[in-house]
Structure 1
Amino acid sequence: MPASRLPVARVLPMLGLAHLDRPFDYLVDEKFDAVAQPGVRVRIRFAGRLVDGFLLERLGASDHGGRLAWLERVVSPEVVLTEELASLCRAVADRYAGTMPDVLRLAIPPRHARVEKESVAENQRAENPGAEDPGEITGPGMSGWERYATAASFLRATLDDRHPRACWQVLPGDDWAVRLAELATEVAAAGRGAIIVVPDQRDLDRLAAACDPYLGERCVALAAGLGPTARYRRWLSVLRGQARVVIGTRSAVFAPVADLALTVVFDDGDQSLDEPRAPYPHPREVAVLRSHATGTGLLIGGHSRTTEAQALVESGWAHDLVAPREAVRAAAPRVEGISDDDRRIDGDPLARSARIPATAFDAARRAVAAEAPVLFSVPRRGYLPSVACARCRTHARCRACNGPLSMNDRGELACRWCGRPELRYVCPACGARAVRALMVGDKRTAEELGKAFPGVPVVTSGGQKIVDEIPEGPRVVVATPGAAPRAPGGYGAAVLLDTWAQLDREDLRAAEESVRMWMSVSTLVRPASDGGRVVIVADAGVSAVQALIRWDPAGFASGDLAQRRELGFPPAVTMASVDGPAPAIAAFLDLLALPPSAERLGPVPLPAGVRRPAGLDGEGELERVLLRTPRVVGRELSAALRAGQVLRNARHDDTAGIRVQIDPPTIG
C-alpha cells in the first residue's frame, strides 16, 4: 500500500550514463514511509535490474502519466545527501559536462553498515552535549597573521557572513600549517565550520599535527589512505556535526560540514589536486562554486600563485591577502641566477655549461662551514633519468613507444614510460652506440656531492623514501620537488639544479609549475639577513627566474595571465579537450551544437605523457581536439558537451574511448 502522505519518491539512479542523469519517480510503500527521507540511499528496480540510488525528495503526486514502480528498499535511514551537497554536486556536474552520479561517487564515500551502527552512541552524545562537554576551544590567536595586512579583516568578514574571498601569499619561511591551524581554530571557536584542502598525505599529516593541540576531536582528517572503514566513520562524524573542522585531500572539499563559514584550498597548483576520475573536477573550482552558492568565505593560498587564482583577483571576485613588500624582503633569502652582469659568472667560463657552477659550490661550502645544512633540488629521481646519443646529442627514445630512455645505477637502459629494457641502443640519427647524461637524478647527484663534501652526511629524499625533517648540523640534502625535508632554523643555502628540465617542457603550465616548485624549495632557506642563499642554475633574464629572484609570484601570474589572454588559453577562455580515436571524436563532434563563438583546434596526436582514456589502455593512435569559447559563454560549451554525450548514450554508441575534460590540467 502506498504511503498515506507524500507517496511518491523522486530518486536519482547511480548509473553514470549521461542520458539517464535525471531523477525518476517511484511509489513509496507504507512500511518505508518513516525512513524514506530525502537524502537516504535506496535500491530501485531500473530496466529489470536492481540499482543503487539517492532519494532526492518526496512528492504528493507524480507528473508521469504511466504506472510507477515501487521503491524496493531503503538501504539506510542515514541522510547522507544533504540539500546543500546535492546542489553542489549538480553544479559541479554541469560545470564539467559530467553526470551527477559520477560527482556523488567523489563526494560521498561508500557505505559501511557496521560503522553506521557503531556511531549511533556517538551521535546521541552529540545530540546531548551536556552529557560530555568537550569544553571551550582555546587557540593560539591570530598573532602569526599580523604580518599580513588584511588578515584580521578577512577573519571578521568570515565570521560575520560577509562572504570574503581572498588569495593568500605565504611569506617565505612562514609555517603555513600553523597559520591555517590558527585560522581554523578561530572559526571553530566561534561555533562555525571550516574545510581545509591540501595536496597530499604529507601535507595533511603536517596540518593535522598543527591542528591537533587546539582542536582535538573537533578536527577530522579525510583522505583515501585511511581505508574505507575509517574514512566513512570520520565522514559520518562530520555529517552528524561532531566535527567542526575538516582537513583532507581532493574530495574533502565536498565534506558536509555544518554551518560552514570558510573553505581553504592550499597550493592549488599542485598536480596532486588534479582529479583523475570523471568528470575531473578541481577542488579549487569546486570551492569557488560552493562559496558562490552558499556565500561562505574562501581562501586560496600557497607560496606561489596560479593563473586561475590570479584571474579571480583581477576580476574583482577575490582579493589579495599578502604581506607588505618590506616584510617579504625581510623574510626572503638572497636568490641568485646566472647573469652576464655578474662578475663571478663572467670570471667563470664554465658557469653556463657546468651543471653545478662555482657560485653554487661557494654558497654550499659557506653554508656547511657555518654548521648549516644545504639543499640541492633535482627534478628527477634515480641515477640518469634522461640520456642522449654521446655523438650527436639526439634524445635516446624507446623503439616500442618512443618514450625517453633512462639509465639506472647498474648502467642498464630502460624506457621511463613502458619499462621495456633497451639492450643494444643504436642512435637512429648517426648510428652511434654510446649515450651520455642529459639529466642527473638524485642518486647520482648524491654520489657526486658526497665526493665534493667529504665527511659531511648526505641525505636523499624522494620517491618512496621521503625524509620529513633532518637534525641540526651541517648536511647535504638531495631532494626532488615536494620531498625536501624541513631543517631546524632553515637551510643555509639551496641550489636548484637542472632547471631546463622543468622550463623546457612542452606544457602550458611549465613556467607556472617551475615557479611553484622553486618557491616551495626556497621558502625552506633562512632569510638573507641570516645568510640564507638560493642559487638557481638558470638564466636570470628568464621571467620565471626573475619571479623567484624578486619573490613576486603574483606579478608573474599576472603576466602569464595576460599572455594567455592574448593567445586564448585557460583561464582566460573556457577550453575543453576531447580525447580518443579519430573516428569516435569525429562522430561525437558531429552531435554538438556549439555556441557560435566556439573555435575548434585540431585534431592533433594526443600529447606524450597524457593519461590515456579509460578503455583504451593498449596501443593505438589517439587524437585530441580542443574546443575554445570566451569565458562568458563557458556554461554554453559545457551544456553542449553534455548534450552530445546524452545523444551518444541514447543511441548506444561506444563512449568508452572518449574522454571529455573542461579546462584540462595539461595542454601540451
Structure 2
Amino acid sequence: VKVRFAGRLCDGFVLSIRDHTEHDRVQPINRVVSTEPVLTAPVAGLVRAVADHWAGTFNDVVRLAVPPRHATTEKATPRQRSLPSADDLTGLDAGPFEEVVGGAGFLTALEQGHSPRAAWQPVPAAVPAGDWAAGFARAAAATWASGRGSLCIVPDATDLERLTEACTAVLGKDAVTTLSADLGPSARYRSFLAVVRGQVPVVLGTRAAAFAPVANLGLVALWDDGDDLLSEPRAPYPQARDVLALRASREQTAVLFASHARTAEVADLVRRDWLRDLTLPRERFRRLAPAVRIAADDDRALDRDPAARAARLPREVFSVMRAGLAQGPVLVQVPRAGYLASLVCQTCREPVRCPQCNGPTQAVHQRVSCTWAGHPVRGWQCPECGDSRWRAPVVGAIRTAEELGKAFPNTAIRRSSGDRVLAEVSDEPALVVATPGAEPATPGGYAAAVLMDTVLLLQRPELRTGEEALRRWWNATGLVRSGVDGGTVIAVGPGESATLQAFLRMDPVGTAQREWEDRRTAQLPPAAKMVAVEGPEAAVGDVVRQLLAELKDCPDVLALGPGPIEAPVHSEEPWVRTSLTVPAAAGATLTRQVRATLANRSAHKREGTVRVRVDPREI
C-alpha cells in the first residue's frame, strides 16, 4: 500500500486488520498497490527477529525479504503445476545418507512429519557419499512426503544450478522453483509469487531467499555456511545461517546444515545439542576421501629435490600432475586471479601503489595498471628508496596457466577465474587452473588436484584465516576422485603450518571443535557476542561511551579499540572501529542496548555516520 507519513508518500505492508485502534488519530491508506499478501505473518515475525538480533530496523530487513514488485508479472496467469504425491516419494533409498550414521533415521523422521536438526559432513570427494546436492534433494523429497515444504539456500549461482538439477531429478520441475537476483526482475517476482501463493513446495535460492514465504515450511537447509557470499553486505548484515536458525526455532522446522569444512558457529550449535552430527564412520570417511599430502614434507622428498621448499612448483608436484594427466583432468587451485597479482619495489619491498587513488597495482605483460580503477601506472618510483624497478611476489591464475602451458606443451590448459568462470570441463586429460570458488566440476571427478601458494591464504590477518583456508582446500578436494579410485591432492606450502596439518588429518568436525575452544579462550564469536562500531572517531567514541554506561552492570564487558579502518569512498574523514564483547549469555542485552543507542542518536540527529556490525565476519 501507499500511505502518507510525515508529509511523504511511503510504501507499506498490511500485516493485520482491526476494527479499533489505540491511537487518537489515523491516516487513511492512500492507495492499495497490490492485493497479493507478499509479507506473510511468519515472515514479518522473522524480519522483526532478524532486526532485533543484528541491531537493525524492520525497514532494513524487509527490503531483503520482499523483492521489488513487477506489475505485469503479477497480472499474468500462473502456470499450472503437477506435484508429486506422497506415495511417489515415500520409501526412496537414502542416497548420500546410506552409510551415514543416523542418516536413514533423519530421512525417516522427515517423512513422518518430525523436525530433526542435523549438521551433515559429506565426504570431500567426487563420490555419492559426497554429493551434497543429491542429499538435499533426498531430504526435500522426504519432507514433501509428509506434506511440508522445503527451503534450501546455497552461496552462488553455480551451486544453485547443481542443486536445481538434483532436486528436479527427484521431485520433478513443477515442484521446484529458484529465487535469486540473477534471475532478473520479472522471473524473480514470478518465482516469488509461486511461493507466496503456495503453488510450489521446494524453494531453492541464494542468501535473500532465506526469507521466502514457503507454505507449511518443514525443512531449512544450507550448503557451505562459511562462504562469505552468505553474509548480506547491506545493513544490518545478517548471515544466512543465523537467519535460517532463527527461522527454524520460530517455525519449528527441521534443519540440515552441510559443508566440507565446518565452521565454529556450526560446531557451537552441535556443542549445545541444537544440531546433531551426521557423519560417516571415521575409517570409511578417510578411505573415500582422496589421498592428501604436502609437497616436500619429509626428508626423502627433500633428498630427491633439495630446492623443493623454495620452489613454487617442486618436482614432486610435477610428478603428481603427470600421473594425474594419465588418468584424466588435473585441478590446479591458485589463490589469486590475474597475471602478476601484486607488485612491490625490487629493492625495499614497499608495495607499488597507484599514484591517483593509492590502490594496489598489477602487471600484465610488463604493463603496470591500477587494480581498482584499471588505468595505467607510468613512471612509478618508490617513495621509500627511489628505485623504479618492481617485482611480483604473487603470481596469479593467468600467469600460472601460461607457465604450465610451457611445462606441459602437449596438454590442454583450461582457466576458470574472475569474469571467466567455467561451470564444467570434460573428463579428457587437461590442466584446469582455477581460483577458489571458480573450480569447474568434471564428470567422475579430477584425477588429482594441486593447491598452490597456500601460504598466501595462511598469511591473511583475519579471525577466520585458518577456517577459510580449510574451506577452500576441502571444497577443491571435494571435486577429486576417491582415494580408492586413485584420487590425489597435494598442497604446496609450509608443512609445519597447523592449518595444513589439520587439512592432512581430514577431520573437519574435530578441527571445528578446536577452533571453537580457541575462540572461547580469546572471548571471540561464537563463544562470545561481539558488536563492532565503525565510523568517524568522535561519533564512535560517543556511541561506545553511551553503551559502556548502560552496560555497567553487565559482567565481563571487553572493549577493543579504537583502531583505524578503511573509510567509505564518500567519507571525507578517517574511520575507526571499536569492538565490544560480552559473554554469549549477555548477547541479547548488548544488541538490545545497541539498538536503543542508535535510535536515540537518530532521534536527536547526532552528527557522524555510525555503522554497527553484530558478530562481524572480519575483526
Alignment correspondent of 1:71: 29
2:94 corresponds to 1:94? no
CA contact (8 A) 2:121 2:260 kept: yes
Further displaced range: 390-399 or 172-181 = 390-399
Alignment correspondent of 2:109: 157
| 5+ residue gaps, structure 2 | none
CA contact (8 A) 1:159 1:261 kept: no
2:364 corresponds to 1:413? no
Report the CA distance shift for 1:511/1:451 in structure 2 as closer, same or farther (over 3 A).
same
Q: Give 3-state SS (helix, strand or coil) of 1:466's partner.
A: coil
Give the Cα–Cα distance (whole angstroms) in 1 for the partners of residues 302 and 551 of structure 2.
Answer: 55
Per-residue CA deviation, residues 119-172 of structure 1 (Å, 9 max, x unaligned), is 4x65xx68xxxxx77666745532331121111212233344543221111112
Further displaced range: 646-655 or 462-471 = 646-655
2:191 corresponds to 1:234? yes
TM-score of the superposition, structure 2-length normalised?
0.94
CA shift for structure 1 position 72: 2.4
Report the CA distance shift for 1:628/1:525 in structure 2 as closer, same or farther (over 3 A).
same
CA shift for structure 1 position 274: 1.2
2:578 corresponds to 1:625? yes
Per-residue CA deviation, residues 608-639 of structure 1 (Å, 9 max, x unaligned), is 5xxx55xx535541111111111111111111
Per-residue CA deviation, residues 354-375 of structure 1 (Å, 9 max, x unaligned), is 001111111001112x242111
Code of the aligned partner of 1:377? Q
Alignment correspondent of 2:418: 463
Q: 1:61 aligns with which of 2, 14, 20?
A: 20
2:568 corresponds to 1:568? no
2:477 corresponds to 1:522? yes
Per-residue CA deviation, residues 58-81 of structure 1 (Å, 9 max, x unaligned), is 2332222x3322232322222222
Alignment correspondent of 1:35: none
CA shift for structure 1 position 175: 2.1
CA shift for structure 1 position 235: 0.7
Give the Cα–Cα distance (whole angstroms) in 2 for the partners of residues 562 and 429 of structure 1.
Answer: 43
Alignment correspondent of 2:274: 317
Give the Cα–Cα distance (whole angstroms) in 2 for the partners of residues 577 and 70 of structure 1.
Answer: 41
Query: What is the root-mean-square deviation in Å for CA atoms of aligned residues?
Result: 2.0
Report the CA distance shift for 1:526/1:317 in structure 2 as closer, same or farther (over 3 A).
same
CA contact (8 A) 1:142 1:183 kept: no
Code of the aligned partner of 1:267? D
Alignment correspondent of 2:8: 49
Q: 2:285 aligns with which of 328, 332, 336?
A: 328
Report the CA distance shift for 1:340/1:486 in structure 2 as closer, same or farther (over 3 A).
closer
2:572 corresponds to 1:634? no
CA shift for structure 1 position 562: 1.1
2:490 corresponds to 1:538? no
Further displaced range: 529-538 or 587-596 = 587-596
Report the CA distance shift for 1:80/1:241 in structure 2 as closer, same or farther (over 3 A).
same
2:601 corresponds to 1:648? yes
CA contact (8 A) 1:340 1:346 kept: no
CA shift for structure 1 position 524: 1.3
Give the Cα–Cα distance (whole angstroms) in 1 for the partners of residues 526 and 86 of structure 2.
Answer: 43
CA shift for structure 1 position 392: 3.4
Alignment correspondent of 1:502: 457
Code of the aligned partner of 2:17? R
CA contact (8 A) 2:558 2:582 kept: yes
Q: 2:300 aligns with which of 316, 335, 343?
A: 343
Alignment correspondent of 2:149: 193
TM-score of the superposition, structure 1-length normalised?
0.87
Q: 1:113 aligns with which of 65, 71, 90?
A: 71
CA shift for structure 1 position 254: 0.8
Per-residue CA deviation, residues 209-230 of structure 1 (Å, 9 max, x unaligned), is 1222332111100000111121
Per-residue CA deviation, residues 245-283 of structure 1 (Å, 9 max, x unaligned), is 000000111111111111001001111111011111111
Alignment correspondent of 2:39: 81
2:605 corresponds to 1:605? no
Code of the aligned partner of 2:470? V
Code of the aligned partner of 2:64? L
Give the Cα–Cα distance (whole angstroms) in 2 for the partners of residues 642 and 176 of structure 1.
Answer: 38
Give the Cα–Cα distance (whole angstroms) in 2 for the partners of residues 467 and 67 of structure 1.
Answer: 60
Give the Cα–Cα distance (whole angstroms) in 2 for the partners of residues 281 and 319 of structure 1.
Answer: 24
In the alignment of these two chains, the number of paired residues is: 608
Code of the aligned partner of 2:600? L
Alignment correspondent of 1:18: none
Report the CA distance shift for 1:531/1:562 in structure 2 as closer, same or farther (over 3 A).
same
Per-residue CA deviation, residues 390-415 of structure 1 (Å, 9 max, x unaligned), is 2333433445555432212x312233
Further displaced range: 289-298 or 595-604 = 595-604
CA contact (8 A) 1:339 1:539 kept: no
Give the Cα–Cα distance (whole angstroms) in 2 for the partners of residues 622 and 414 of structure 1.
Answer: 27
CA shift for structure 1 position 472: 2.4
CA contact (8 A) 2:112 2:146 kept: no
Alignment correspondent of 1:5: none
Q: Percent identity?
A: 44
Alignment correspondent of 1:276: 233
Alignment correspondent of 2:349: 393
